[in-house]
Amino acid sequence: METVKETELPFIRKTVENMLSVDVDLGTYYLQLQKHQKIAFLAERLYGLRIIREADPYECLIKTIIGQQMNLSFAATLVRRLVETVSTPLLFEGTAYYPFPSPEEIASLSYEQLTQLQFSRRKAEYVIDLSRKTAEGGLKFDDLDRKRNEEIMERLLPERGVGRWTVECFLLFGLGRTDLLPAADIGLRNAVKKWYGLKEQPTEADIRRMGADWTPWSSYFTFYLWESLNQPDLMPAIPDPTEP
């Protein structure tokens, strides 16, 4: 077990601030949100809520791959098992913290080691193969923050185990992009159906049409609508459009 050094604290503080999106001024977003009558209440009910970014883009991509087509609870369990199996804990003020493993650490694992942790064989291959490519320099993350969303899509989509949903989550929670509209996402479509009082679930094309004027805050419109499904007790009652 290693101990956190005093000289490392400024870097840790900056990382935490980035994770909490403290640099994002939501004032103009709330002004824009209040113009949308059906969901304007989100500005008050979720005031101050910011997108929580992952500490590192590589970490975000691996966690997103692990979470594909899986409930959040079990995905978190798999991540915890991976971290505790591979990482050396850091001691800070008497508490042990497990950092996310480096690409080199995960690359050194075998597929069987992950399947023993209840990873599917295919997901074990995705996680380890991508980590090996990253460790060998074939996939770089240090310049992605300077690239447009479309360029990042082009770079990551060819990777095995990476689809459009994965890249969209990466852009949101890895790079903190504020104007991303994951129109095919089932959670977003469910939320729009509920709060807009639609009889049928909107299609991807419907979401893109309805969300055309969410820019430049499409990510936050999406994030608040997602969160509204997680906190139904905070929301006003809306009549069921299927009822006579």
Which residues belong to the active site? 185
Task: Establish how many alpha carbons lie within 13 A of residue 177's alpha carbon, considering only the half-sphere containing its beta carbon.
Answer: 22
Query: Rounded to an integer, what distance in angstroms lies between the CA atom of residue 61 and that of residue 79?
Result: 12
Question: From residue 74, how far is each of 17, 69, 70, 155 by CA, in Å?
Answer: 27, 11, 7, 29
Beta carbons of 209 and 203 less than 8 angstroms apart: no
